[in-house]
Structure 1
Amino acid sequence: MTRTIDFYFDFISPFSYLAQLKLPALARRTECELDFWPIDIPEAKIAAGNYGPSNREVPPKIKVMMADLERWAAKYEVRLRFPASFACADWNCATLYAREQGNAELFVAAAFHRIWGLGIDPRDRDELRACAVETGLDPDAAIAFVESSLGQNEYRKVRSMAYQRGVFGAPMMFVDDQIFWGNDRLDFLENYLIK
């Protein structure tokens, strides 16, 4: 039976950007399916009882985090540019439309590249439309899904199920009864899968 890696991410997360660069190949090497599940990190933290400030509000933490991000980007040989805003909810929701169309992996990769590789403004609907076109999706249908009560309800349901499962941040990868949190846990994930 093929195992599934459930990948919980938020386009607001640079560490999710880094993780998704490696996860598809890891899934193929270990003969696993990879499922993409968008969440909302601030909401996930609160659902888990973490009412502390965001990383951006803790100067010593953000300083170390920025250095880590630069190191990871250099290690992966990718560009990492902070986006013009962190308004990523529509992109998260659009992932569910891409899932329905069987195009989640392509959409997620292209969206992360635009948001964290190029540093675009996620509030720009033209960017979302262009990402849909680039990944073979109907841009009008993708935007309509994001704006619909159906799309918003689906996104709310996916987030609720994630928090009930124990998701408290991103990136998180679930396989069997194992949970791996963070881009730096991919080696642990692969070791578990090849045992």
Structure 2
Amino acid sequence: MTRTIDFYFDFISPFSYLAQLKLPGIARAAGSTVEYWPIDIPEAKIAAGNYGPSNREVLPKIKVMKADLERWAERYGVPLTFPASFACADWNCAVLFAREHGKAEAFVTDAYRRIWGQGIDPGDRNELAACAKAAGLDAEALIAFVESPTGQNEYRKARSQAIQRGVYGAPLMFVDDQVFWGNDRLDFLAEYLNKSK
């Protein structure tokens, strides 16, 4: 029986970028699949009762966080460049279009490469269109979906379902009744998948 890893993420999250680099391989090695679920981190935090400032607003924390991110990127052998903006809501919404067309992994992987690998501006519609094309999607249809009431309603529904499930941050992965939070929990996720086959 194929098992599912529900992967909750937000493109504003650099730790989700790092997790996505490894998660598909972990899933394949365990005979599992990944389901991609976009969230809005600030919204999920508030829904969980976390009213504190974002990491970017806590200067001592962001300094250490950046150092940790650089260490992880070096360990994984990948570039890490903070994006020109954090205007990621449309990219999150676009994941639902990619899911409907069987291209979620390709879209999410390329989106993270662009946003956190190259540091592009997610607010640039041309970048979103280029990512759609690279993932094998119809760029015009994807943009139309993101701009439509239908697309926005689907994204709102996905966020609401994530909150109801108890999602409070990203990256967060569910397998069976187990929850794994953070890029640094991927080893625990892999161990769980392999020992409970």
Superposition pairs of residues 164-175 of structure 1, within 5 angstroms:
164-175=164-175
Specify the SS of the correspondent of 2:79. Answer: coil
CA distance in 2, matches of 1:193, 1:136: 30
Does residue 193 (structure 1) correspond to residue 193 (structure 2)? The answer is yes
Specify the SS of the correspondent of 2:36. Answer: strand
1:59 partner letter: L
Does residue 40 (structure 1) correspond to residue 40 (structure 2)? The answer is yes
CA distance in 2, matches of 1:52, 1:135: 36
TM-score normalised according to structure 1 size: 0.99
Specify the SS of the correspondent of 2:12. Answer: coil
Q: Name the counterpart of 1:117.
A: 117
Q: Name the counterpart of 1:66.
A: 66
How far 1:157 sits from its partner (Å)?
0.4
Q: Name the counterpart of 1:108.
A: 108
Specify the SS of the correspondent of 2:5. Answer: strand
CA distance in 1, matches of 2:58, 2:194: 38
Q: Name the counterpart of 2:184.
A: 184
Task: Give every structure 1 segment of 4 or more consecutive aligned residues whose post-TM-superposition deviation is greater than 2 Å.
Answer: none
Q: Name the counterpart of 1:2.
A: 2
Specify the SS of the correspondent of 2:136. Answer: coil
Superposition pairs of residues 70-89 of structure 1, within 5 angstroms:
70-89=70-89
Aligned residues: 195
Specify the SS of the correspondent of 2:78. Answer: coil
Q: Name the counterpart of 2:26.
A: 26
Unpaired runs of at least 5, structure 2: none
CA distance in 2, matches of 1:115, 1:168: 22
2:44 partner letter: A
CA distance in 1, matches of 2:33, 2:184: 20
Superposition pairs of residues 51-62 of structure 1, within 5 angstroms:
51-62=51-62
TM-score normalised according to structure 2 size: 0.98
Unpaired runs of at least 5, structure 1: none
How far 1:33 sits from its partner (Å)?
1.1
CA distance in 2, matches of 1:137, 1:3: 26
CA distance in 2, matches of 1:71, 1:89: 27
